[in-house]
Structure 1
Amino acid sequence: MAEKVKEYESDELTVIWKPEKCIHSEICFKGLSDVFNPNERPWVNVNGAEDKTIKDQIDKCPSGALSYKLKNESSDGSSIEDEQIVEVSKGGPLMVYGNIKVKHHDGSETSKHRVTAFCRCGSSSNKPYCDGSHKKIDFE
């Protein structure tokens, strides 16, 4: 089955949302509610802020469900520096910032860019990645 992808376009910017990846951290909404408002339809208003402000907020998305592309640029999303940062979020996933390669138990590899959320609670149905299950089980 193909992954669901929704795009929201302005003159210069396309915001891309992959709902199945979203862990509902609400970082987008709490950080930039003029653009990201789940109570509105469509929930993404690309005209609610300057492109740079929107891009900066999207870069904070812990699951990678939100990304963007500029209409006058082509990018594979791998422009982050070589540095990786690991952050343990309180009651939530292990956040890894930067370009990484995930080696799976079957020997396959997946390249991840910008932000990757790894499950710490053990309840994710998308292991090793977080799917937001920690909220349902009150993981601490």
Structure 2
Amino acid sequence: MGKIKEYESEDLTVVWQPEKCIHSENCFNGLSSVFNPNERPWVNVNGAPDKSIKEVIDKCPSGALSYRMKNMADNQNEIEEEQVVEVIKGGPLMVYGNINVKHHDGSETSKHRVTAFCRCGASSNKPYCDGSHKSIAFDS
């Protein structure tokens, strides 16, 4: 597993996994007072109420951003019974909901909330999207 960064406030910890990030900018466009790549650190957990931060993180298409509440005994997200698949024009195949990914070597990985799968073939993190579709001008 790659590098993981955590940003903490009194009640909330924002977790960022840079290697998963596909730079959709949903976080920055959704809440620039918290997520600003031009600032250091780029995540300001005191820039908005926890509820607003969680709403933006829940929309992260790659799952690079997640969170946990410090005052909750059970930090598990609610299990979603339904999965939705969305094809993003010029981008990844998005799967919303909890899924298990079976790899060619027989191993399995559990994914929660949102998973971005590569469609362009250029990802160095297959089967997952790493944002390479932008550099090769993938348009399908």
TM range (shorter): over 0.9
Partner residue, 2:48: 49
Superposition CA RMSD, Å: 1.0
Partner of 2:7: 8
Aligned to 2:104: 105
Runs of 4+ in 1 over 2 A off after TM superposition: none
Q: Which residue of 2 aligns with 1:125?
A: 124
In structure 2, the partner of 1:75 is 75
SS in 2 for 1:15: strand
Cα offset, 1:105, TM superposition: 1.1
TM-score normalised by structure 1 residue count? 0.95
- 1:114 aligned partner: 113
Aligned residues between the structures: 138
Which has the higher mean CA deviation after the structures are superposed, 116-125 or 80-89?
Answer: 80-89
Structure 2 residue ranges without an equivalent (≥5)? none
- The normalised TM-score by structure 2 is 0.95
* Distance (whole Å) between structure 2 residues aligned to residue 89 and residue 35 of structure 1: 26
Q: Distance in 1 between matches of 2:89 and 2:57?
A: 21
**Counterpart in the other structure of 1:84:** 83
